[in-house]
Amino acid sequence: MNLISKSANPLIGSVSAELPGDKSISHRAALFAAFADGTSRIEHFQVSGVTRPMLQALTSFGIQWSLDGETLTVEGRGISAWKNPTFPIDCGNSATTLRLLAGAIAGAGVTATLDGSYGLRRRPMDRIVEPLRKMGAVIKTTPGGIAPLTIQERSEGQKLKPLTYDLPVASAQVKSCLLLAALGAEGTTLLNEPGPSRDHTERMLSSMGVTVNSYEVEAHNTLRYMVELTPPNPLKLLPLNMSLPADPSAAAFLIVAALIIPGSSLTLKGVCLNPTRTGLLDGLQAMGADISFSNQHEAGGELVGDLQVNASELQGTEVSGPLVVRMIDEFPIFAIAAAVSNGTTTVHDAKELRLKESDRIAMLATELRLLGVEIEEHSDGFTIHGGKLQGGTVESHGDHRLAMSLAVAGLAAESPVTVRNAECTAESFPAFAEILQKLGASISTEG
């Protein structure tokens, strides 16, 4: 399927429940509910290409769940009720599913093989395997430290060792994997991260009765982000009853579209405003974006609020350091804002972008050049000299966020943009094109 977008009307209106529930919180809610004792009810769950593999995996471990629209019900019977699956678990394209499940499997002490798409097999798994082995987990990987990987059951009554570990890169997937494994360990696990990665795991486990402490320490003039987890004894987790906020990483495409299409005025309601996720908003505001917040409140342990976004003249900016971690998934759409801004935008400290659903530094450079953008690639980021976007035909490389970003580029380009192989938008935002159409954008599908 191709997406074809072109500049037409301003985006005017309001979106709320149509936005998908947050992807990261959806993954965690489904999985953690399967560890709980009792029935969890999760509303506004993200039903998408990347959350399906997590739900299917739960079935393989003998967990019962049902989905009624966007309401997920999970029958948790505690960590000890997890069964060995009979087949390898297919995590599709979802690294979150694979890495979080690896920790859960180690914590539950079952045997399972985790595998996924060709794209997922390319992504590094040694970052979870090495620390899990330090905890005593027995894991077989494919040469190169990639999937498929098999985690072996422990002998009867044997627990994992608690871990004290410095994460070499800030990663919520690695941190969450290790915190889940730590539930099956005896004693306190202490993790030390170089950046403020998303903290949904900590918040959710706390709400389920686990003692989790997060704090910052300064060492050699840099901040380190610490998390300490002590599992309750006996391990009994409270079920979840929550409605999930809208995904700020999905809202990001609409926010940038409204900023760069002249005359636009858009309200986005019920968006997750957890400070570990709002890096894009900070970056855009530094560029002069007219974004205001209202109705901020806490729901289900997360900060939620409404956004008002008005079309704005943007100036180039610089992004590096802790801000990179807080906007890690938003660089493809941020690059589109940079491409139409006045002046130069530079991104550094973002090497991790090379290890996402595609090498996002290389793919952004390749595809944006096709739209006439002046972009230089760095080993850890890129520089964009802002100006005008031209039309053209570009490729998604199977990366959902690249596909949606390029389609948004077309809404502000001088002539239409065709994004080839754009069916991957359904991985995290199935209603992407439909919502934009309702707001007045000219975007259509072909093939």
The residues carrying an active-site annotation are 329
Minimum Å gap between C-beta 168 and ligand S3P is 12
Binding of ligand S3P by 26 (CB under 6 A)? no
Helices (H), 155-199: 172-182
Site string for ligand S3P, 182-221 (x = CB under 6 A): ---------------xx-----------------------
CA-to-CA separations, 122 to 49, 133, 230, 355, in angstroms, rounded: 19, 21, 33, 9
**Residues 28-67 close enough to bind ligand S3P by CB under 6 A:** none
3-state SS assignment for residue 125? coil
Binds ligand S3P by CB under 6 A, chosen from 96, 264, 341, 405: 96
Tokens of 400: 């959902």
Nearer to ligand S3P, 7 or 197 (CB): 197
Choose, by CB under 6 A, the member of 172, 361, 363, 422 that binds ligand S3P.
172
Among 7, 46, 93, 171, binds ligand S3P (CB under 6 A): 171
**How many angstroms separate the CA atoms of 135 and 164, rounded?**
9
24 binds ligand S3P (CB under 6 A): yes
Cβ-based neighbours of 78, under 8 Å, separated by 6 or more? 35, 36, 37, 235, 236, 237
Q: Are 280 and 334 in contact (CB under 8 A)?
A: yes
Nearer to ligand S3P, 93 or 264 (CB): 93
3-class secondary-structure state, position 91:
coil
Q: How far apart are CA 287 and CA 260, in angstroms?
A: 12
The residue range among 114-122, 159-167, 169-177, 208-216 that interacts with ligand S3P, by the rule CB under 6 A, is 169-177
Distance, CA of 397 to CA of 356 (rounded, Å): 12
Binding residue for ligand S3P, selected from 256, 272, 273, 328, defined by CB under 6 A: 328
Q: In whole angstroms, what is the distance from residue 34 CA to residue 65 CA?
A: 9
Q: State how far the alpha carbon of 34 is from the alpha carbons of 29, 54, 105, 232, 296, in Å.
A: 9, 11, 12, 17, 30
Task: Give the DSSP letter string of 337-360.
Answer: HHHTSBSEEEE-S-GGGGGSSS-H
Binding range to ligand S3P, per CB under 6 A, among 133-141, 168-176, 363-371, 415-423? 168-176
Rounded to a whole number of angstroms, the minimum distance from the CB of residue 232 to ligand S3P is: 23
* Interface segment toward ligand S3P; rule CB under 6 A; list 85-93, 165-173, 177-185, 234-242: 165-173
What phi and psi values does residue 73 have, to the nearest 5 degrees?
-115, 130
- In whole angstroms, how close is the CB of 90 to ligand S3P at the nearest point? 19
DSSP symbols for 401-412: HHHHHHHHHHTT
Total interface residues for ligand S3P by CB under 6 A: 12
Distance CA 283, CA 102 (A): 33
358 lines the binding site for ligand S3P (CB under 6 A):
no
Give me the phi and psi of 17, to 5 degrees please: -65, -20
Cα 117–Cα 122–Cα 125 angle in degrees, nearest 5? 100
Whichever of 173 and 274 has its CB closer to ligand S3P, that residue is 173
Q: Phi-psi category of 349—alpha, beta or left, where left has phi over 0 and alpha has psi -120 to 50?
A: left
Residue number of the CB atom closest to ligand S3P? 24
- If the CB atoms of residues 110 and 328 are measured against ligand S3P, the closer one turns out to be 328
Task: Report in angstroms how near the CB of residue 139 gets to ligand S3P at its nearest.
Answer: 18
Three-class SS string for 182-196?
Answer: HCCECCCEEEEECCC
CB of 325 to ligand S3P, least distance (A): 8
- The least distance separating ligand S3P from the CB of residue 96, rounded to whole angstroms, comes to 4
From 302, 298, 243, select the one nearest 276 (Cα to Cα). Answer: 302
Of 361 and 371, the one with the shorter C-beta distance to ligand S3P is 361
CB of 206 to ligand S3P, least distance (A): 17
173 binds ligand S3P (CB under 6 A): yes
Does 329 bind ligand S3P (CB under 6 A)? Our answer is yes
Cα–Cα distance list, 261 to 12, 251, 256 (Å)? 10, 16, 9
Residue (167 or 373) nearer to ligand S3P, CB: 167
Scanning 62-70, 144-152, 172-180, 374-382 for contacts with ligand S3P by CB under 6 A, the matching segment is 172-180
Contacts with ligand S3P, residue ranges (CB under 6 A): 24, 27, 96, 171-173, 176, 197-198, 328-329, 352
